[in-house]
Amino acid sequence: MPAKVFLIAHSYNPVKTVAQAAKLCYSSSNIEDLGNNLTDEKAKDFVQMLSDLGHESPLEHASFTFGIEGVSRALLAQITRHRIASYSVKSQRYVSEKMFEFVLPPEIEEDEHAKEIYLNAMQSAQQSYDNLAAILTENHTKKLMAEGKDEKSARKAAVKLANEDARFVLPNACETKMVVTMNTRSLLNFFKHRCCNRAQWEIRAVAEQMLTEVCKVAPELFAKAGPSCAYGPCCEGAMTCGKAKEMREKYKKILNNAE
């Protein structure tokens, strides 16, 4: 299943918000006056100046919230390494994984033998999960009833307790959904690392979708977003992919398509 990214919400007028916060650093005027005199064009020019100066802290005042679906638990482990962010994730404790969806890596899908092995592994994991959940549900139900709960209440509580342990057999491929909020500065860092050709294919695809979405509403804030090679030297050193020219063209198109 392909990943889907939705821009759920963002700061009101993010470009002007960043510009107003930045102007305060260089002005003795009160905050209200700074906002009243700040036109959209002036805000764009000021954001450009911030980029040229490398003044990044005002970028933290504008945030963006994404809905992300059709991604693996392996991606979840990667994206949560970006710690200046907020995450809400579908729980495997409260949501049963009966007939769980999973992500099929393209390289595996292209090889019939590899795909067969992979699908068998997913089926085996599902069977193990279902069997464990059923056994543990019965065990917990009996214990809870022995403690005085009625059968209906005991079984309802037992299902959640069973899910806690049955989920341990689920694979990294298991599909999950999440809501992610990052401020602009964190997003720029995220794009720098995860849009890079050396990033894992799944999180790179998600990062590119996220970048496309934010460029639609605030292209000025993300005029230099993407891997470092798209706007300057590659930061990967000896590990560079050697495709800086192609990357510059690719990210130029992403920005132009958003305008």
Q: What are the beta bridge partners of residue 182?
A: 64
Strand partners, 5: 68
Token readout for 4 is: 């889907």
Residue 194 among the catalytic residues? yes
Q: Which two tokens stand for residue 180?
A: 């992610």
Identify the H or E element spanning 178: strand 175-183
Instruction: Write down the catalytic residue from 83, 93, 194, 248.
Output: 194
CA distance 218 to 255: 10
Inter-residue contact 132 to 166 (CB < 8 Å): yes
Beta bridge partners of 86: 181
Q: Quickly list DSSP for 2-59.
A: --EEEEEEE-SSHHHHHHHHHHHHT--S-HHHHHHT--HHHHHHHHHHHHHHT--GGG
User: Residue 66: helix, strand or coil by DSSP?
Assistant: strand
- Report the alpha-carbon distance of residue 214 to residue 190 in Å, rounded: 13
Q: Which of 99, 63, 75 is nearest to 183 (CA)?
A: 63
Give catalytic residues, as residue numbers: 194
